[in-house]
A and B are shown apart, each in its own frame.
Chain A
Amino acid sequence: MAQSREEVVETMKDVLASELGVEADKVTADARFKEDLDADSLDLVEVVLALEEKFGIEISDDQIAGVKTVGEAADLVISKQTAVG
């Protein structure tokens, strides 16, 4: 079941807060993982693993490469959910 971008960003807030230990307030669609959320490459992998588990999707490394912000990650999750049906 596809969710709205807002819903996905909301879910990502929980994931990021638990995986990266960032304050939920800082997780906005525009927030950049590296610069704003202080995430290193392993943090990002952890986030991707958590998103894959949470949404039942698979994200390839190529697809992650272009993702800089929380909003872009949400878009990727949505496109994956749509692809699955």
Chain B
Amino acid sequence: MSGLEGRTALVTGASGAIGRACAVALAGQGARVVVAYGSDEQGAQETADLVKAAGAEPVVVQADLTDPGAAKELVAAAGEAGIDILVNNAGLTRDGLVLRMRDDDFTGVLEVNLVAAFRCTREALRGMLRRRWGRVISISSVVGLVGNPGQANYAASKAGLIGLTMSVAREVAGRGITVNAVAPGYIPSKLTDAMGEEAKQATLGQIPVGRLGTPEEVAAAVRFLAGEEAGYITGQVLAVDGGMTMGA
């Protein structure tokens, strides 16, 4: 007995490092997991295998989150059961200094990181309202809290998730649905692999814990917020960042 038996979770961007860890962590609690991915089919399959190994049933779905109809397809993939736990994790970066940033670099990042999260939230909420139980957890980022040069678009999208989180949390608080954000710091993933060695060293100097985090450490926060025992926590941003943004 570990707490999420009978629940269905949808994790977007589940082919990536953090999404995979979230999917596996929720599966470990007994949740059925819809593994949603955009283009990395092999990564999604690896996640599905790990979900299965954790003892849960995976449902793998491909969806292009820039398509306005994608959220509906993803929620429908859960079937009659509906989505009890939504993890808005899908995200992309198109880094560049603002002065050199094109409109579609900005809107393209917003579209996937923020607008798609809004659409998935809206779609999943219907069933949650009916069942009077739900968990929406959006993966924000510390850069949404403190900014980052070269990431105006990404930081704006991640800060936007926090505003979305708090507003939706207030709207549905009386219905047994909690809405929270997790803000990872520097976690090794495809996104951080793109950083130069110098940038990585500089980053380490800003982390009180003195190391990068792991996808599993982010997933642990997601698993906690998804659980029954977190029912009194809503509209919060939980930073999993080795102390990087404390006090921010």
Contacts and interface: CB of A to CB of B under 8 A. Distances in A.
5 contacts: A42-B171, A42-B172, A46-B129, A49-B126, A49-B129
Contacts of B174: 42
Nearest to B172: A42
List the 3 closest A-B pairs by CB distance, nearest first: A46-B129, A49-B126, A42-B171
A22 to B, nearest CB: 16
Contacts of A49: 126, 129
Q: In the complex, which range does the number of interface residues on chain A fall in?
A: under 10
Contacts of A46: 129-130
B200 interface: no
B102 interface: no
Contacts of B129: 42, 46, 49
A42 B167 CA distance: 13
The DSSP consensus for interface residues of chain B is: helix
Interface of A: 42, 46, 49
Q: Which of B130, B172, B174 has the most CB of A within 10 A?
A: B130
Given A42-B174, A46-B129, 6 more contacts: A42-B129, A42-B171, A42-B172, A42-B175, A46-B130, A49-B129
A49 B122 CA distance: 12
A49 B125 CA distance: 11
B209 to A, nearest CB: 41
A46 B129 CA distance: 8
A46 B130 CA distance: 8
A60 to B, nearest CB: 16
A42 B171 CA distance: 7
A73 B130 CA distance: 20
A66 to B, nearest CB: 22
Nearest to A18: B130
Contacts of B130: 46
Nearest to B175: A42
B174 to A, nearest CB: 8
A49 B174 CA distance: 18
Contacts of A42: 129, 171-172, 174-175
A50 to B, nearest CB: 8
A78 B171 CA distance: 30
Interface in B88-144: 126, 129-130
Interface string B53-96: 00000000000000000000000000000000000000000000
A42 B132 CA distance: 13
A49 B175 CA distance: 16
Contacts of B175: 42
A46 B171 CA distance: 12
A39 to B, nearest CB: 12
Nearest to A46: B129
A21 to B, nearest CB: 10
A42 B129 CA distance: 10
